[in-house]
Amino acid sequence: MALMEAESGLCGDCGHPLAETTHAGNEGAYDASITKCHACLAGAQRVAAFQEDGGKTDGLKISVFRRES
């Protein structure tokens, strides 16, 4: 219950406190970096191929695993 209350005040995308990030005085106060997760990329590519073959993604769950060398 306490976790739900704490999370309710957080942005669902970046996870920062909404009371802080939506304050007009904080416009321009943030920066961002881009990182590519190769595991997520593999999952996204697999889903794209599945969809191209006509697969429906409703309820689809993706398991990503490291290939054996």
CA–CA distance, 46 with 62 (Å, rounded to integer) = 9
Q: Are 16 and 10 in contact (CB under 8 A)?
A: yes
pLDDT digits (tens, 9 = 90+) for 13-39: 999 999 999 999 999 999 999 999 999
Phi/psi at 60 (5° precision): -70, 135
Q: How sure is the predictor about 4, in pLDDT bands with cuts at 50, 70 and 90?
A: low
User: Model's pTM, two decimal places?
Assistant: 0.61
Going from the C-alpha of 2 to that of each of 9, 18, 69, the distances in angstroms are 12, 17, 44
Q: Are 14 and 21 in contact (CB under 8 A)?
A: yes
Residue ranges per structural domain of the chain: 1-32, 35-69
Map residue 59 onto helix, strand or coil: coil
pLDDT at 24: 97
Tell me what the pLDDT averaged over the chain comes to: 93
